[in-house]
Amino acid sequence: MKKFIFLFLSIISFKLSAQEVNIIPQPVELRPGAFPSDKFKINNSTTIRILDSTAVNAAIFLKNYIANHYNLNLEVSNNLVGTKGNAINLIISDQLYKNSDKYFVSVLSSTVNAGASSPQGLFYAVQTIIQLLPTNADKEISIPSVDIIDYPRFGYRGMHLDVSRHFFNVDFVKQYIDYLALHKMNYFHWHLTDDHGWRIEIKKYPKLTEIGAWRDGSIIGLWPGKGNENIKYQVLPKTVKITPNDAVLKTDGIKHGGFYTQDEIKDVIDYAAKRYITIIPEIEMPAHSMALLAAYPELGTEPNKKYEVAQTWGMMNKYNNVLQASDTTFKFLENVLTEVMALFPSQYIHLGGDEASKIWWKQSAASQEIMSSNGLKNESELQSYFIRRMEKFVNSKGKTIIGWNEILQGGLAPNAIVMSWQGEKGGVDAAKQKHKAIMTPEDKMYFNHAQFVKEDSLTANKFSPLIDVYNYEPVPAELTAEQATYIWGGQGCLWSEYITSREKVQYLLFPRLDALSEILWSPKGKRNYPDFQKRLKTQFKRYDLMGITYSKRYLEN
């Protein structure tokens, strides 16, 4: 058996491959097989063979993909010998690699051997096998002879989805997770609460979804709404200045909303776990809380105010969306997080912490009293006090918090991880303080921005073309080698202000997700944009096979 497992070690060749192989993200090592002209042909007699039950998940995923896209129903067998026909052997052995994400794929004419030391490593091998399959289901289904050894550069490879501005149902969230799996991503940041809708059932506080999950309309056109109602194309210079006072707040009057029950949340978590993706839930605080305050106004800095779920975007300084830093608020949030942490097995809970306008605490006598009684010098220290208080509770439950880079204001909580979106400074500061950092700078990693100077539908009024995404380097040059070890990885963000359909999600996501996956998985030295563009041509054909919408204007280049 040991000899069988290490068969791939003897299959090394430096001949040019007779067949082109296009894989995204680019593997660490990819060589032609021992007999480059050979192909492994998949037909009804092909068997997927596994050694033990830990490989079942990867085997079933591959079986289902082939069934869905090539109309072949392959047998999965736990017998590595004695089966008829050719075979795809999926092997898990702790003798292979110390790195649990590392895998190999070796293709011969009669067998495909894929192995790793862990189930997730084997799952990554399966994603590579999928990208070796033809993109035309009507032709012969074969895989070229190659040898691949591969492993990721970064431990955190994340993608975000905002379901507060526009709600997406469970079926689509699962589809989104499959997109991440295909690209070997391992974290899904689920933005569940914001000013525009509370999307997760909390049984102790039913008004969060009875009231907070619904809004009476959405702003028309591009925020701030002035003169954009009938826009078809936008010219998107990088320097566009808009202020809330310029806004003409016209809304469509259409009720919008939705939420996930706790049973649905559990279902999605289980689905992601089978794809080795950890879901990180985000519960926004202390700002971006209009939906919460609409349900429980007593938690705001203006307790007698009638709050409403927000119908427009960009309200940081115009509308009071900030929670009061009171014991009552903290107890409420602790109860919310208790239910959230019971649902999500993730070690990490995202608490937001961004865009908390200090003017609302300045204007609140109660806030000023809280500051005085706790010896806080200013409102930035009050924000730090708020986040530290919540971190202490989350830590007491054995979890770790993540926050946007504003949690650095007033002093960083002791164990917090910083997600840097306002450029790289937050990540640099966190790394220098020996805190983990996740890099998601808005100008490169926000996929709700336009991909082209003239877009064919409404997007955020900023510009993040594919080449800028691909050329982004997550480790800032100013960090020392030791400090660089605290850059945990990176993440793309997809905010849904102007996204109302799954097709629009796909259009904005692809192919920028392809670029992101290569940034976070492949060795820095193997990144090559012209070669990436070439490989994208094959990936686009695969998206056609899978029925995925993407930015086809890239085919013109």
Q: Of 106, 130, 150, which marks where a domain is finished? A: 150
Are both 512 and 472 inside the same structural domain? yes
314 pLDDT band, cuts 50/70/90, is confident
The gap between the terminal CA atoms of the chain, to the nearest Å, is 49
Rounded mean pLDDT, 398-427: 97
Are both 290 and 146 inside the same structural domain? no
Are both 27 and 138 inside the same structural domain? yes
469 contacts 445 by C-beta, under 8 angstroms? yes
316 pLDDT band, cuts 50/70/90, is low
Which structural domain, as residue segments, surrounds residue 203? 156-556
Ramachandran bin of 550, using left for φ above 0, alpha for ψ from -120 to 50, beta for the remaining angles = beta
Residues whose CB is less than 8 angstroms from the CB of residue 480 and which lie 6 or more positions away in sequence, other chains included: none
Are both 476 and 533 inside the same structural domain? yes
Q: What is the predicted pLDDT for the residue at 517?
A: 98
Dist. CA 110–CA 91, nearest whole Å: 16
Rounded mean pLDDT, 186-200: 98
Residue 33's closest CA among 90, 141, 87, 106?
A: 106
**Residue pLDDT, tens place only, 7-63:** 433 333 333 343 579 999 999 999 998 777 789 999 999 999 998 899 999 999 999
Q: Which residue has the higher pLDDT, 35 or 358?
A: 358
Exposed, middle or buried: residue 333 (CB in 10 Å: 0-12, 13-18, 19+)? buried
Average pLDDT score, the chain? 90
Active-site residue list: 194, 288, 355
Query: Does the predicted model carry a pTM greater than 0.85?
Result: yes
Name the residue type at position 281: P
Q: What is the predicted pLDDT for the residue at 82?
A: 58
Are both 71 and 216 inside the same structural domain? no
Number of neighbours of residue 309 by Cβ within 10 angstroms: 25
Could you give the count of Cα atoms lying within 13 Å of 309 in the half-sphere of its Cβ?
A: 28
CATH number, domain with residue 479? 3.20.20.80
Are both 70 and 185 inside the same structural domain? no
Q: What is the predicted pLDDT for the residue at 224?
A: 62
Are both 69 and 212 inside the same structural domain? no
Q: Of 124, 150, 176, which marks where a domain is finished? A: 150
Are both 437 and 414 inside the same structural domain? yes
Are both 142 and 202 inside the same structural domain? no
Return the DSSP state at 16: P
Dist. CA 544–CA 200, nearest whole Å: 33
Are both 66 and 195 inside the same structural domain? no
Number of domains in the chain: 2
Name the residue type at position 510: F
- The runs of H, that is alpha helices, within 248-378 are 262-273, 290-295, 327-343, 359-362, 365-373
Are both 340 and 224 inside the same structural domain? yes
CATH number, domain with residue 17? 3.30.379.10
3-state secondary structure 223-235: CCCCCCCCCCCCE
Residues whose CB is less than 8 angstroms from the CB of residue 58 and which lie 6 or more positions away in sequence, other chains included: 90, 119, 122, 123, 125, 126
Q: Of 105, 134, 150, which marks where a domain is finished? A: 150
Number of neighbours of residue 231 by Cβ within 10 angstroms: 11
| Whether residue 532 has pLDDT greater than 50 | yes
Are both 160 and 33 inside the same structural domain? no
Name the residue type at position 208: L
